[in-house]
Amino acid sequence: MKLTLKKGIHALRHVNPPKNMVSNILMEVDKRSRPVMLVQLQLATVMSVVLFCMSCVGYMMSVPTEDPLSLLDGVSTLSSDMTLDVLINL
């Protein structure tokens, strides 16, 4: 298609914005300036902190309540026996 600069300028000058543009702009501004947004954001933050704390508590509950050092008793005995064996063999 052949096009002159004059016709090109004419086309650009007559491009119409979408019909719902004004209402979209007003709606967007309305949405962004609502304080509810901020409240929602804060609520979401609080909720995520609460969820994080709950998962931490859940994790801690699942860990055995015994003294963790007692779990090492067997290990230390075993290792000392093994050391003795090694010494005897020497």
Please tell me the count of residues contacting another protein according to CB under 8 A.
27
Q: Reduced to 3 states, what is the DSSP secondary structure of residue 65?
A: coil
Q: For residue 29, what are its two tokens?
A: 């501004």
Q: Which of 26, 39, 46, 47 binds another protein (CB under 8 A)?
A: 26
Nearer to another protein, 3 or 61 (CB): 3
Are 47 and 53 spatial neighbours (Cβ–Cβ below 8 Å)?
no
The residues that touch another protein, with contacts defined as CB under 8 A, are: 1-5, 7-9, 11-18, 21-22, 24-26, 28-30, 32-34
